[in-house]
Amino acid sequence: MKSASRFAAFAKATSRAAGRPSAFLMAVAVILAWLVTGPIFHYSDTWQLVINTGTTVITFLMVFLIQNSQNRDSQALQVKLDELIRVVEGAHNALLDLEELDEEELDRIRAPYSKLAKNAREDLRRGKVDTDRPEVSPTSIGTPAPGIEPRPRTCGLRHAPGAPPRSARPCRPAIPSRSSAGWPTARPAP
């Protein structure tokens, strides 16, 4: 595990450094130096081989470093999006962790959203607004796993499954709290 974290730190630092203007200027300087040495080496095959080999090796290594950084950034972004879906009232929890689905299931889930986008564009062409929040049927985005029932939304009040909520009061804004594991949670305002 320690070598993986060292590699991640190295990949992060390298990709950050390679994206800076100074790295680009250094690459331009190397190419200019190579061009200037052309007449000295009579534009020999060895002179050409030096730049070809050097750029190939650097490119080959950078592919892995950049891919590592992109994978890490993508995973962090997915966790953030999953958290937003989890906390938004009315959001479909079936949309969590979509990146793990196969292509066929992802296409099935994407279909109602594509239809919404198409309808919104048609509304814009007709001069209508597209800022409403049309419902997407939960059955169109996925079916719950066997034995799992959807969670009731009760503004944080707990009640027995199937029983009516204890209070019909409207939801109040959530106050950030911390769970026993240290993760931020939401609890209803007093």
Q: Name the residue with higher pLDDT: 85 or 189.
A: 85
Q: How far is residue 133's CA from residue 73's CA, in Å, rounded to a whole number?
A: 30
Structure tokens belonging to residue 108? 């099935």
- pLDDT for the residue 5: 83
| Residue 80: pLDDT band with limits 50, 70, 90 | very high
Q: What is the pLDDT of residues 3-33, one digit of tens each?
A: 778 888 888 888 889 889 999 999 999 999 9
Q: What is the pLDDT of residues 151-188, one digit of tens each?
A: 444 444 444 445 555 444 444 444 444 444 444 444 44
Q: What is the pLDDT of residues 100-145, one digit of tens each?
A: 888 998 888 888 889 989 999 999 999 988 887 778 775 656 544 4
Q: How far is residue 108's CA from residue 143's CA, in Å, rounded to a whole number?
A: 11
Residue 188's SS3 state is strand
pLDDT above 70 covers a percentage of the chain that reads: 71
Where in the chain are the domains?
2-87, 97-130
Q: Are 174 and 186 in contact (CB under 8 A)?
A: yes
* Residue 69: partners with Cβ closer than 8 Å, 6 or more residues away: 11, 12, 15
Q: How many CB atoms lie within 10 A of CB 69?
A: 19
Q: How far is residue 109's CA from residue 136's CA, in Å, rounded to a whole number?
A: 10
Whose structure tokens read 């490119």?
A: 59
What are the backbone dihedrals phi and psi of residue 87, each rounded to the nearest 5 degrees, phi first? Answer: -95, -15
What's the mean pLDDT when you consider all of the chain?
77
Report the predicted TM-score, pTM, of the whole model to 2 decimal places.
0.55
